[in-house]
Structure 1
């Protein structure tokens, strides 16, 4: 595969806007030509009748000029007509492109569902054979390199098969459509509902939120370039630091430029624990499924508390300065869900979102929020929603081939780390890039970025933890 870009300036919608904008300019040009033509006709009719007698040569020349401007394909009238027809053709083309894109998207989804019962078993069966073969070779469930290598190679060569496998799994789950949810979300809701009947996937204990050392008092840094890749690098360091811990870490930045303008950046933690039994770590498997299903999560109010606390310490009322949410993996899901929430978005003036390796393609954002979504072509995680990136103006999606590293062949999740995504972001989202979407995102989010390192960056860290479950009451 090769890098793919969609959304923003690369979207069909942008092309159609350009076509319609050009059509509008041509319409105005046609109006000008028609006005000129009308003026020529009026001028010709106002010439004195005795001109032909006094100066027959001049009268003949005037008549010839008026005729050339009034009659024929090269006349003003002809120019106006051709320009009008060209404008209409561009509008028809834009409409045709939009309808073709809608048909293509709908057909692809239909075919994917139809193919899942056929392609899915074949893929799962092949992986199963490799897995059993691994046991025959003395492998163990947690470290069966042969099966993992087979699956990794299969999805690397045919990443579209990820969708087929996931569609098959979704066909097995009935899913009940809920108001305001798409079919995918409703099916995940049904999974959560079944799990809760067995005592898992519960999230009913509010999280504790507390400032942590060394940032119990905010620390101000300067001289650090602030870029998309820089935030993802920092996200990777935070996640590595919290590996095996019992809490999640939310980092809040206040960026102040030399001119006094300021913005806030909230770094949302990714998955730290795949447990679905309500462990003390809130960024767990339960949070993954609940946020994918658009169900309430205790992460949302906890992150709001962290941001509100940091703003209060800085003496900045919520809504005065813009906010960008940054998240890797599960953190990108949570960040996008928060940006979807009208109350949170309007309270804190959220304008931008950055996600890396996150399955957010089915999560619509309002036009007031622009997202920069990065996914690796061989990363299974951002494809777990079984959907292509939305081709819309405010979603800048980059499906990239990661730079190969040793171990990629045997580890399906090697390319999923935040550090790997930071490396890809440095390659395609450098502030000096001429890519129109990169230029636009840095321009729209100028308050959050500072490639030169001249801004001050005040950092607030917060620990999020789920309190232990209360002991069972005696009968």
Structure 2
């Protein structure tokens, strides 16, 4: 099978990392400028040194030459003072450039979000404007169908998943135009979340899993995704949520915990209490940036598996599972998830709005024909700690384009063969979770349910 073509953004080789490098260069330049200024100030004292001035009585010409040479070395066009000023100017210029680049990047994202919101607000407050818009959109489609063409709607939306970004991005403004104050996608999700009681998570131990896919420490991204796919298959629709916690132990005594978190399995309507934590309601709450009962239950499972507050933890999730993983990583910084999450891996998850702390490394796999990563209408930010790997796998099916076995496992296998610097840096930082000579793994399974 031919490897899908991978496009890598962010991470150690990304734009934000280069901004960080420029910022570090600015800091070093400032340090050099301060050192040179200090040396210049101290050296200026030699011009008025008592011994030097006293020696002028014996050799006035020699002292004059010495003072002239020292002044030139200190205050001449190529002297220490000029060098210090040059490094200081360079530091200021670098900091200004980095700030300008970052402001521009943020402004572009905010401008697109604002444009979508405005369009939605107009449609909500002036509903008649939707008539010419629908006509403009519908005429080409109607003409194509009148000519005998048949439209494959599933293929259309998976070929152009940006349609989803637009629809989701317009929705908050539309709601606001209808008279319900709504600023953005997260705020709209929080409004909808009021109709989905989150309840409290309960955890039941289901013992050890000795399946071959869980019995060996992972050797790479492909192995990580295969185990996630296996757990995804064990978590059945409209059955209690199921996750696993894997303890990888190394011969040198070090260890790491891996949590596999499947995606959505229950799709109940709003207004009904659901006992399933992996349901649509959890999606809505996480999209709103909220800490969920599912996240709390995962924390309890980690505690039961023996994880302490300092043990390194990797959270791996597909779809909703990746959303919950990213939110849990975010919450490590505010006390809502008391574990040392160092790494996150997501597959087909919309996490562009989730702000993960700088000390957590995130790797996101996204099929460019998978519509699910577009459900937050936000691209993943190019950050030094967030590597996004995009690939093209068009099966023609919304479900298969989102599948862990159909597209994400082959992409993860291809990632193991990648020499991209961001991918290599992520893997090198995650040694606690990958197999090494003499390492072992133990996998515990936990069932999660929601109670009122």
Task: Provide, for residues 374-417 of structure 1, a one-character-per-residue CA deviation record: whole Å limited to 9, x for no partner.
Answer: 322222101111112234444x1415123x36xx2x21343212
Residue of structure 2 in register with 1:107 after alignment: 111
Cα separation, 2, equivalents of 1:39 and 1:428: 56
CA distance in 2, matches of 1:40, 1:214: 72
Closer/same/farther in 2, CA of residues 235 and 124 from structure 1, 3 Å limit: farther
Task: Identify the match of residue 323 of structure 1 among 307, 313, 321.
Answer: 313
Match of 2:350 in 1: 359
Q: Normalising by structure 1, what TM-score?
A: 0.75
Contact 1:219–1:458 at 8 Å: present in 2 too? Answer: no
Unaligned runs of at least 5 residues, structure 2: 124-128
The equivalent residue for 1:211 is: 205
The one of 423, 438, 445 aligned to 1:461: 445
Deviations 1:189-239 (A, max 9, x none): 33344xx4xxxx4555x5653333663x99997654343332222111222
Give the 3 Å change call, closer, same or farther, for CA 453–221 of structure 1 in structure 2.
farther
Corresponding residue for residue 232 of structure 1 = 225
Q: What secondary structure is seen at the aligned counterpart in 2 of 1:379?
A: coil
> Which residue of 1 is the match for residue 80 of structure 2?
76
Q: 1:236 to 1:73 in 2, by over 3 A?
A: same
Structure 2 residue aligned with 1:424:
411
Do the aligned partners of 1:246 and 1:465 also contact (CA within 8 Å) in 2? no
Cα 1:427–1:287 change in 2 (3 A) is same
Change (3 A) 1:336 1:38: closer
| Mapped partners of 1:113, 1:245: distance in 2 | 35
Structure 1 unpaired stretches of 5+? 140-144, 470-475
1:443, distance to aligned residue in structure 2 (A): 4.5
Rate the CA distance shift 1:21–1:278 in 2: closer, same or farther, 3 A.
same
Whole-Å Cα distance in 2 between the matches of residues 208 and 31 of structure 1?
58
Write the distance in 2 (CA, Å) between the matches of 1:126 and 1:334: 38
Aligned CA distance change for structure 1 residues 39 and 214 (closer, same or farther; 3 Å): closer
Question: Equivalent of 1:21, from 10, 20, 24?
Answer: 24
Cα 1:308–1:126 shift into 2, 3 Å: farther
Separation in 1, partners of 2:234, 2:382: 36
Corresponding residue for residue 291 of structure 1: 286
Give the alignment of 1:312-461 within 5 angstroms: 318-341=308-331, 342-346=334-338, 348-394=339-385, 396-402=386-392, 404=393, 408=395, 410-419=396-405, 420-428=407-415, 433=419, 435=421, 437-450=422-435, 452=436, 454-461=438-445
CA distance 1:284–1:164, shift in 2 (3 Å) = same
The structural deviation recorded for 1:260 is 0.4
Q: What does residue 256 of structure 1 align with?
A: 249
- Residues in 1 aligned to 2:345 and 2:25: alpha-carbon distance in whole angstroms: 32
**Deviation (angstroms), 1:361:** 1.4
Question: Alpha-carbon deviation of 1:127?
Answer: 11
Q: Paired residue for 2:301, among 306, 319, 338? A: 306
Q: What secondary structure sits across from 2:388 in the alignment?
A: strand
TM-score (norm 2): 0.78
Distance 2:139 2:203 in 1: 43
Shift of 1:107: 1.9
Equivalence for 2:189: 188
Deviation digits for residues 108-161 of structure 1 (CA, Å, limit 9, x no counterpart): 22223235559995599559958x969x99x9xxxxx82212222333xxx3x4
Q: Is the 8 A contact 1:5 1:397 kept in 2?
A: yes
Q: 1:324 aligns to what SS in structure 2?
A: strand
Q: 1:87 to 1:456 in 2, by over 3 A?
A: same
Name the count of aligned residue pairs. 427
Shift of 1:253: 0.6
CA distance in 1, matches of 2:145, 2:291: 42
Matching residue of 1:95: 99
CA distance in 2, matches of 1:232, 1:173: 38
Distance 1:96 1:42 in 2: 41
Give secondary structure in 2 for the equivalent of 1:212: strand
| Distance in 1 (alpha carbons) for counterparts of 2:187 and 2:41 | 62
Per the alignment, residue 164 of structure 1 pairs with 166
**Contact preservation (8 Å) 2:117, 2:172:** no
CA distance in 1, matches of 2:433, 2:15: 25
2:14 — aligned with what? 10
- CA distance in 2 between counterparts of 1:417 and 1:106 reads 31
Tell me how large the CA RMSD over aligned residues is. Answer: 4.0
Contact 1:357 1:381 in 2 (8 A): yes
Please give the alpha-carbon distance, in whole angstroms, between the structure 2 residues aligned to 1:298 and 1:23: 44
